[in-house]
Amino acid sequence: MTKLVTIYGGSGFVGRYIALRMAKLGWRVRVAVRRPNDAIFVKPFGVVGQVEPVLCNIRDDASVAAVMQGADAVVNCVGVLAERGKNSFDAVQHEGAARVARLAAQNSVKSLVQISAIGADSEASSAYGRTKALGEAAVLEHFPNAVILRPSIIFGREDEFFNRFAAMSRFGPVLPVIGGDTKFQPVYVDDVARAAVMGVQGEAAPGIYELGGPDVMSFRALMQEMLSVIRKRRLVLNIPFFFAKIIAWAFDLLERVTLGLIPNPVATRDQVRNLAHDNVVAEGAKGFAELGIEPIDMEAVLPDYLWRFRPSGQYDAIKESARNLKV
């Protein structure tokens, strides 16, 4: 009998890669999302009817339970980088994760994978980090055999990290960053998906895994690497945390006053707090090595999707080749 996995947030950046891998392995896949019509693109991941987007609100017990019926495994990818309306950090990353784990245990689901993040800490200065930790604790309380994955910054074709800053580089000679000396260990999205699939299939021992790529680099160095790939020269300007907090406070206030009509386009105060701490795999933590996965290097992936930000886009390589021709 074909097995079934329900992936909460399965149309998101990480979830879609997990859904694709599960479909290729022959699993039926339920992609549980708030807007199924926006997730139609997952259907061709498998044969007709194999991958189906379904309506689900992770804040509601009945909704979460309905899409879990008959599932052999569950993956929770739902998270928020900034609070919007009822989707607060606590409602989504703590209570939502607890709800998924509690109902999975009640429904005798065989395996559960929770996507968390490096920096999850009950004493973190940011609400993001604290609620990630509370979510992990709740998952382990209800489902002790869960596999919890804590990735560093994730990169890939649909990422909101390199794509965002590459787009910003179009508007002037300066590229501002907050926390230029903060260290990251970027990890390829499909490597995270591979780890999640191992958790689903029972090929990974229960517990917490911190996932980072081969390179540890400062925020400033990552931006310089990105600029090198898109072949642009920009001054990477570090904004001191003192000024960053003031700017974030002002834009947070503007968003609140306009009732969300003008979202914070820079960084929230909570994100600024996050950027004050390194985002790398902790010494002694379980990770890719224990899973038998060799993570892919950024240099092998970034040019595949950042080429569109080069001065001549898809024609940049042709122009370079033409310059080498001898008349």
159-205 residue pLDDT tens: 999 999 999 999 999 999 999 999 999 999 999 999 999 999 999 99
In the chain, % of residues over pLDDT 70 = 96
Among the listed residues 254, 183, 251, the one whose alpha carbon sits nearest the alpha carbon of residue 215: 183
Q: Is residue 43's pLDDT more than 80?
A: yes
H or E stretch covering 140? helix 127-142
Among the listed residues 198, 215, 211, 227, the one whose alpha carbon sits nearest the alpha carbon of residue 281: 211
Residue 74, CB-side half-sphere exposure with 13 Å CA sphere: 32
Report the mean per-residue pLDDT for the chain: 94
pLDDT of residue 294: 97
pLDDT of residue 262: 87
Q: What is the DSSP letter of 184?
A: E
Q: Is residue 229's pLDDT more than 60?
A: yes
Query: What does the buried/exposed string (b/e) look like for 200-226 if buried means 16 or more CB atoms within 10 Å of the residue's CB?
Result: bbeebeeebbbbbbbbbbbbbbbbebb
Q: Is residue 115's pLDDT more than 60?
A: yes
Q: Going by C-beta distance under 8 Å and a sequence separation of 6 or more, which residues neighbour residue 125?
A: 273, 276, 277
Question: Mean pLDDT throughout 12-41?
Answer: 97
pLDDT of residue 260: 83
Q: What is the DSSP letter of 37?
A: G
Please state the separation of Cα 263 from the chain's center in Å.
20
Q: Going by C-beta distance under 8 Å and a sequence separation of 6 or more, which residues neighbour residue 324?
A: none
Question: Mean pLDDT throughout 106-123?
Answer: 96
Whole-angstrom distance, CA of residue 259 vs CA of residue 246: 20
312 pLDDT tier (thresholds 50, 70, 90) = confident
pLDDT, one tens digit per residue, over 127-166 is 999 999 999 999 999 999 999 999 999 999 999 999 999 9
Q: Going by C-beta distance under 8 Å and a sequence separation of 6 or more, which residues neighbour residue 30?
A: 4, 5, 6, 7, 10, 52, 54, 67, 71
14-23, 93-102, 236-245, 316-325: least confidently modelled range: 316-325
H or E stretch covering 175? strand 174-178
4-158+185-213+279-296 CATH pick, 3.30.2350.10, 1.10.10.10, 3.40.50.720, 3.40.630.30:
3.40.50.720
Residue 264: CB atoms within 10 A of its CB come to 19
The β-bridge relationship of strands 217-218 and 183-184 is: antiparallel
